[in-house]
A and B are shown apart, each in its own frame.
Chain A
Amino acid sequence: MNTEINATLDARGLNCPLPILRTKKTLAQMATGENLELVSTDPGSLKDIDSFCNQTGNVLVENSNSDGEFKFVIRKA
């Protein structure tokens, strides 16, 4: 199943907490049910994005990691 991506955010090279802040800002401009694809290089991203989603009710739909890059798809609640 292909997830439709409605917005993308390149947070490569940014360290915590900047990827989270940019994610929050981008999601604020999206509609409920839309998907944001985020790419990050911060090793703490997975834990951060996971707890961000738990706290905000947004859904972490996909996450993958290859060559030091973390890719996430977050569905806006």
Chain B
Amino acid sequence: MAEINDTRERIISVAKKRFHQRSYADVGIKEICDEASIQKGSFYHFFPSKRDLVLTVIDEFAADWADGFIGEAFDPSLPPMERFDYVIDAAYFWQKSVGDVEGRLPGCLFGNLALEISTKDDIMRAKLLAVFKHAISRFRDALDEAVETGVIEPLDSEATAEAMMAYLEGMILIAKAQNDPEVIYRLGPALKFIRIETNTH
């Protein structure tokens, strides 16, 4: 049983890394099998297709992201607006750390996949959208708490949270295009000052 789980985990781990570094389309089953040191038959035992694999990768990465990166930043013991500084630190150090090892910034896996497949696969698109929505809801909760405690003026917290996510993803995209994590360090502090007022749209 342990070995079976290990094989499945090895496939997922290789796929997660490769899809993130390159793209879904560019990475084939053969490459994943070679790198995970498994036979193609074993691959198909766990995943009927590459698409089934990427759906699992999205689920697992989303869980890691929600518990790790987002969970850690949106720690309820932190003052609500400070949580956004932690989001930026997480994005910056994560991109920088992978960039230092691989020589290239990977960008955001969810953002990369959303750009790649949104016109082609509605199921995958919906899954990715759910990941963004989950993070947006954490942003919104922090904003609502900041309003309730008088730290910031009342605002449209749902729209602001969505705008913040758009800024975060856009900033990571520009950092990837420049292959320079310092873009996140430079632009990141502005994230927590984004405001969309109530009734302005």
| Residue positions of A touching B, CB distance < 8 A | 15-18, 20-22, 24-25, 44, 47-48, 51-52, 55
Contacts and interface: CB of A to CB of B under 8 A. Distances in A.
B75 interface: yes
Interface of B: 68-69, 72-73, 75, 78, 86, 89-94, 96-97, 100-101, 185
Contacts of A15: 68
Contact of A48 (B69, B72, B93, B185): B93
B101 A44 contact: yes
Contacts of A52: 93
Contacts, number: 42
A16 B78 contact: no
12 contacts: A17-B93, A17-B97, A21-B72, A21-B89, A21-B90, A24-B89, A25-B75, A25-B86, A47-B96, A48-B96, A51-B93, A51-B96
Closest 4 CB pairs of A and B: A17-B93, A16-B97, A44-B97, A17-B90
Nearest to A42: B97
Nearest to B67: A18
A20 B100 contact: no
B94 A16 contact: yes
Given A17-B94, A47-B100, A52-B93, 13 more contacts: A15-B68, A17-B89, A17-B90, A17-B91, A17-B97, A18-B72, A20-B89, A20-B90, A21-B72, A21-B86, A24-B86, A51-B93, A51-B96
Contacts of B96: 47-48, 51
Contact of B97 (A24, A25, A47): A47
A17 B93 CA distance: 6
Contacts of B86: 21, 24-25
A22 B97 contact: no
B52 to A, nearest CB: 25
Nearest to A52: B93
A50 B195 CA distance: 34
A17 B94 CA distance: 5
Nearest to A56: B89
A48 B181 CA distance: 12
A51 B99 CA distance: 14
Contacts of A51: 93, 96
Contacts of A47: 96-97, 100
A55 B94 contact: no
B114 to A, nearest CB: 21
Nearest to B87: A21
A16 B93 contact: yes
Contacts of A21: 72-73, 86, 89-90
